[in-house]
Amino acid sequence: MSVRSQIHMWNDVYNDRFQEFAPFYLEGERETCLINVAGINKVPISMLHGTDDDVCSYKRVVET
């Protein structure tokens, strides 16, 4: 995980709020403007399935 990815995670998870990215998080900026998630009703998702996956069958991937 890159440092930038970790900062994004700390920004939301550890602050228990879904907020804009805090570019100076490591310098002490912990809270930024909240992101309104109430209007989100569609999120694009991509899925990859390995041809030798013994845990999750291709049929299960299609159903998911």
pLDDT digits (tens, 9 = 90+) for 8-18: 666 666 667 78
pLDDT digits (tens, 9 = 90+) for 33-57: 888 888 888 888 888 888 888 888 8
The answer to whether position 47 is within a domain reads no
pLDDT at residue 15, rounded to an integer: 67
pLDDT at residue 40, rounded to an integer: 84
Q: Is 54 helix (H, G, I), strand (E, B) or coil?
A: coil
Q: When comparing pLDDT for 16 and 29, which is higher?
A: 29
The answer to whether position 7 is within a domain reads yes
The answer to whether position 13 is within a domain reads yes
Range of the domain at 26: 1-40
Residue 1 has pLDDT above 80, yes or no: no
Domains in the chain, number? 1
The answer to whether position 1 is within a domain reads yes
Beta-ladder partners of 34: 19
